[in-house]
Amino acid sequence: MSSTAGPVQGEGRRVYARLLRHVMPHWRRFALGLAAMVVLGATEPALAAILKPTFDGSFVDKDVGTVALMAMLLVVLFGVRGLCTYASALAMASVSSQVVMDLRRQMFAKLMELPNEAFDATSSGALVSKITYDASQVTEAATQVITVLVRDTVLVAGLLGVMLYHNWKLTLIGLVAAPLVVLVVKHFTHRLRRVSFELQRLMGLATHVVQETLEGQKVVRSFGAQDHVRGRFASTANRLRQFEVKFASAASIISPIAQLVTACGLAVMLYMAARESAADAMTVGTFASFFAAMGLLFAPLKRLTSVNARLQRGIAAATSVFALVDQPSEPDTGTRTLGRARGEVRFEGVSFRYPGAREPALRGVDLAIDPGERLALVGPSGSGKTTLAHLLSRFYHPQHGRVLVDGIDVSAITLRSLREQIALVSQEVVLFEGSVRENIAYGPLAERGEEALWRAVDAGSAREFIERLPQGIDTQVGENAVRLSGGQRQRLAIARAFLKDAPILILDEATSSLDNRSERAIQQALRELSRGRTTLVIAHRLSSIEDADRIVVMEHGRILDSGTHAELLERSTLYASLYRFQSGRAADDSASAQAR
């Protein structure tokens, strides 16, 4: 059988060995399962073997005693086999689910440690499917392949033994005929696989057409493209239908053909057997026992020939799993911890280019922010404002220059301590599955206590709406739960930041998803939040930062100018034009708000 299980080479072998190392801690259960399987593999030939004394006893010798004994043996055999079937299935399921869980936990833990670049480079869908699908596929290689190899090898050997014992000449004929059947079946399965591949592709295409049309249904209608889209779907649906028929045809021809070829071989063997028994060389019991053993041989042979495909599938899945587990974690080289920082922030000649980007996002930025200062960053979209915030939180590392907090290079501070100093409120408020309470007192903040929680809720002016929710602060939010408006989500995020009470605050376009009125209401809470903290306000609406201590104007990754609102209005043409453009639009906004 080496040809079917052999080709695991080099890299594959290493992956497989590593997978088996995950099985090792559970070797007791695994060995129990294997033992049960060996018993299973060994007792099946016995079923064929006891047919001889049974048949000869009843038809030839009329020996009731032997037949009764065999009948009892039959019951015992099935009892033992039932026990072993159950034990082996349970042991293997328990081991493989343990392995899958170990791998899933390892992958999930890794997700928490990956550097930001890794998420830029991989779609979240791909990561999700690694954890859900690939991990479950690994069991193919981890336990099922071994199951098949052990049980079916024992079984095949036993059955061949029974056959050889009864009649070696017939056995040899069978051994010559069997590969013929395999070849014929292989030919047809190959065709089936081709058709099924094409079928899958067409199914994907049809789904894509439907999805695209649903997402763009307004566009489809407003451009009157219904006929065009309908035609496209109709032709895809028709090709799909054609291939479904082809698939059915390819699938249903396999077993009749295989049976026909088998019947031909069987006919030859039956003829030979009949000649032997005419010469009195074969009893009816031998005959029955021999052909029963041969019949039982098909299933394990089939499983053994397909074992390599399963092995490869499992190894491919394991490769994908280990690729994620082996990705380097976010480098956390810092050793210093800060306690509570004063909140002085300095960028010194910072240049940064995102991995794979052509243009640098920051070019030689120098900026010093005093403790407690409220500094606003303005500039056209793409000018590098968010990137500055990313570097301060050490989500990325500058290629040149340094970022310092309280005069210490951020790369010398442990990630945990650095991030404890920074609270971030951004436009995208992410709510996690759970209650409002869990979302505000998120993670380690849960230890801050009830009183602190409600103080934060009040400071974020979130009490009023929270108390009106169906279950108050214990109302479930997140996916498939109470939907909160943009303003309400924003208030939760502000309350969360209040509770964190970090010395450095980053507001990255925190209010840009809100309409003017909610924005004004939230501005007050944000201003409250920034009191006594070093605050980096990234603003899309300049009206909200007119009172900042200092405004920094950025463009193309550079700082163009800085000063107060009044100074910049006079000095910076970019700032003045941004401001004029926006005050014009703000007037439009309030006009349309009144019209509503």
CB of 386 or CB of 572, closer to Mg ion: 386
Stretch that binds ligand ADP, among 42-50, 200-208, 382-390, 459-467 (CB under 6 A): 382-390
Angle, helices 284-305 vs 27-49, to 10°: value is 150
Tell me the CA distances in angstroms from 145 to 32, 34, 131, 185, 313, one per residue in order: 16, 12, 21, 22, 11
Figure out which of the listed residues 139, 171, 262, 386 binds ligand ADP, where binding follows CB under 6 A: 386
Amino acid identity of 293? A
CA distance 190 to 326: 36
Least gap, CB of 553 to ligand ADP (angstroms): 11
Is the CB of residue 266 less than 8 Å from the CB of residue 143?
A: no
CB of 477 or CB of 514, closer to Mg ion: 514
CA distance 498 to 494: 6
366 counts as binding ligand ADP under rule CB under 6 A: no
572 counts as binding Mg ion under rule CB under 5 A: no
Which residues lie below 8 Å from residue 385, measured CB to CB, with a gap of 6+? 377, 378, 379, 508, 538, 554
CB of 361 or CB of 499, closer to ligand ADP: 361
Least gap, CB of 579 to ligand ADP (angstroms): 17
233 counts as binding ligand ADP under rule CB under 6 A: no
Stretch that binds ligand ADP, among 87-95, 121-129, 378-386, 575-583 (CB under 6 A): 378-386
387 counts as binding ligand ADP under rule CB under 6 A: yes
Least gap, CB of 111 to ligand ADP (angstroms): 17
Site string for Mg ion, 463-502 (x = CB under 5 A): ----------------------------------------
Q: Where are the alpha helices (DSSP H) in 483-542?
A: 486-500, 516-530
386 counts as binding Mg ion under rule CB under 5 A: yes
Stretch that binds ligand ADP, among 197-205, 304-312, 385-393, 558-566 (CB under 6 A): 385-393
Stretch that binds ligand ADP, among 231-239, 336-344, 354-362, 587-595 (CB under 6 A): 354-362
CB of 386 or CB of 488, closer to ligand ADP: 386
Question: Exposure pattern of 484-497 as b/e (b: 16+ CB <10 Å)?
Answer: bebbbbbbbbbbbb
Is the CB of residue 420 less than 8 Å from the CB of residue 341?
A: no
DSSP lists the bridge partners of residue 334 as none
Figure out which of the listed residues 382, 401, 478, 486 binds ligand ADP, where binding follows CB under 6 A: 382
CB of 262 or CB of 426, closer to ligand ADP: 426
CB of 386 or CB of 534, closer to Mg ion: 386
Residue with tokens 């169906």: 470
Stretch that binds Mg ion, among 126-134, 287-295, 322-330, 382-390 (CB under 5 A): 382-390
Residue 120 binding: pick among Mg ion, ligand ADP, none (C-beta 5-8 Å cut-off by kind)? ligand ADP
Stretch that binds Mg ion, among 142-150, 290-298, 380-388, 406-414 (CB under 5 A): 380-388
CA distance 97 to 30: 12
**Rounded to 5°, angle at Cα 129 from 123 and 133:** 165
511 counts as binding Mg ion under rule CB under 5 A: no
350 counts as binding ligand ADP under rule CB under 6 A: no
CB of 315 or CB of 362, closer to Mg ion: 362
- Closest among 448, 453, 447, 520 to 492, alpha carbons compared: 453
Residue 489 binding: pick among ligand ADP, Mg ion, none (C-beta 5-8 Å cut-off by kind)? none
Angle, helices 145-166 vs 307-325, to 10°: value is 160
- Sign of the C-alpha dihedral computed for residues 525, 527, 528 and 529 taken in this order: positive
Is the CB of residue 583 less than 8 Å from the CB of residue 577?
A: no
CB of 110 or CB of 353, closer to ligand ADP: 353
Site for ligand ADP in 108-137 (CB under 6 A): 120
Least gap, CB of 89 to Mg ion (angstroms): 55
CA distance 505 to 421: 8
Q: Which two tokens stand for residue 294?
A: 């041969």
Q: Which two tokens stand for residue 444?
A: 């380690």
381 counts as binding ligand ADP under rule CB under 6 A: yes
Residue 382 binding: pick among ligand ADP, Mg ion, none (C-beta 5-8 Å cut-off by kind)? ligand ADP
535 counts as binding Mg ion under rule CB under 5 A: no
300 counts as binding ligand ADP under rule CB under 6 A: no
Least gap, CB of 577 to ligand ADP (angstroms): 17
Least gap, CB of 116 to ligand ADP (angstroms): 7
Long-range contacts: 525-533, Cβ < 8 Å, 24+? Answer: 525/459, 525/460, 525/461, 525/491, 525/494, 526/425, 526/494, 528/459, 529/425, 529/459, 529/460, 529/494, 529/497, 529/498, 529/505, 530/374, 530/505, 532/372, 533/343, 533/372, 533/502, 533/503, 533/504, 533/505
Least gap, CB of 509 to Mg ion (angstroms): 6
427 counts as binding Mg ion under rule CB under 5 A: no
Least gap, CB of 396 to ligand ADP (angstroms): 8
Q: Where are the beta strands (DSSP E) in 334-460?
A: 345-352, 362-369, 374-378, 400-405, 408-409, 422-426, 434-435
DSSP lists the bridge partners of residue 404 as 346, 409
Figure out which of the listed residues 167, 320, 383, 490 binds ligand ADP, where binding follows CB under 6 A: 383
Angle, helices 486-500 vs 450-459, to 10°: value is 130
96 counts as binding Mg ion under rule CB under 5 A: no
- Closest among 268, 78, 77 to 172, alpha carbons compared: 268
CB of 318 or CB of 361, closer to ligand ADP: 361
Is the CB of residue 147 less than 8 Å from the CB of residue 88?
A: yes
Residues lying near Mg ion in the complex (CB under 5 A): 386
Question: What residue ranges bind ligand ADP (CB under 6 A)?
Answer: 120, 354, 357, 361, 379, 381-387
